[in-house]
Amino acid sequence: MKGGGCNKMNQIKGNGFIITEGNGNYTMSWMTGGFQDIEVTYPVSKELVDKALRSEQDAYEVELFLQTGEWVTKESKEVARQNYFRSSPVRMLVNPSSIKQLFSIQEFEELIQKAISSELKPNELDAIGIVENYLELLLVDPLDWQEEIEAVHLKILQEKINNYIYFLESKQYVERYGDNFDKKVIHITFQYSPSDNGLAFLAAVQKVLQPTDMSLKVELPE
């Protein structure tokens, strides 16, 4: 027996989209657009929900159907897939090896660069604070190190670390935190273990910082 007066909304998270269910009615929402992401929401049937949750390909076919009212034909499927990833490059990071063949080398790298930049945010400081008697800048890297994206990942991580070093060297923290610290630490936490090239790069950064009052603290996943 169902009680009245309470409309409970349930959410199911898919790969890059959210299904919301309330009173047997479903909506499907996802972010679309380039640098300026916009959330779009469409009412959707239970059959389409089941299809969207089946696989990544089924999900984008459902999204395209909701947007255009048409199912992609076999001939247009490749173009549709290309446009799907162009509109939301961050989804390429889930399985880049299966997507690389859709694009020229140049366009694939441009899209991957856009995707990684949107996740790693090289021009932003993730967090800053004082720990004991030193200044700590936190850098969070949530990205994997698949072979197809490793070079771009490393390039953007390097850009972000350089921005952190410049922030410390130019003393942009002084107005808020003062300048009475034993040392300044760039604390990087990785969600995925870096590749050999990634680890070699981090070792090189530590060596460069050795004669300074800055140091690198690296936290790897368990």
Mean predicted confidence (pLDDT) in 128-152: 94
Residue ranges of the domains in the chain? 9-87, 120-219
The CATH class given to the 120-219 domain equals alpha beta
Mean predicted confidence (pLDDT) in 2-23: 76
Enter the tokens of residue 30.
């996802």
Render pLDDT for 73-113 as a digit per residue (tens, 0 to 9). 655 677 878 888 998 899 899 889 989 989 999 999 999 99
Residue ranges of alpha helices (H) inside 137-217 are 150-169, 174-177, 196-209
pLDDT at 4: 46
Enter the tokens of residue 47.
């059959």
pLDDT at 2: 42
Burial of 195 (0-12, 13-18, 19+ CB in 10 A): middle
Produce one character per residue of 118-155: b if its CB has 16 or more CB atoms within 10 Å, e if not.
Answer: eebebeeebeeeeeeeebbbbbbbebbbeebbbebbbe
Query: Using 50, 70 and 90 to split pLDDT, how confident is the model at 72?
Result: low
- Dihedral sign from CA coordinates of 77, 99, 83, 45: positive
Placement of tokens 């399985």 in the chain: 95
| More confident: 143 or 84 | 143
Render pLDDT for 13-63 as a digit per residue (tens, 0 to 9). 887 899 999 888 999 998 876 556 788 899 999 999 999 999 888 888 898
Is 63 in contact with 30 (CB distance < 8 Å)?
Answer: yes
Render pLDDT for 184-217 as a digit per residue (tens, 0 to 9). 999 999 999 999 999 999 999 999 999 999 999 9
Please list the residues that pair with 44 across neighbouring strands. Answer: 26
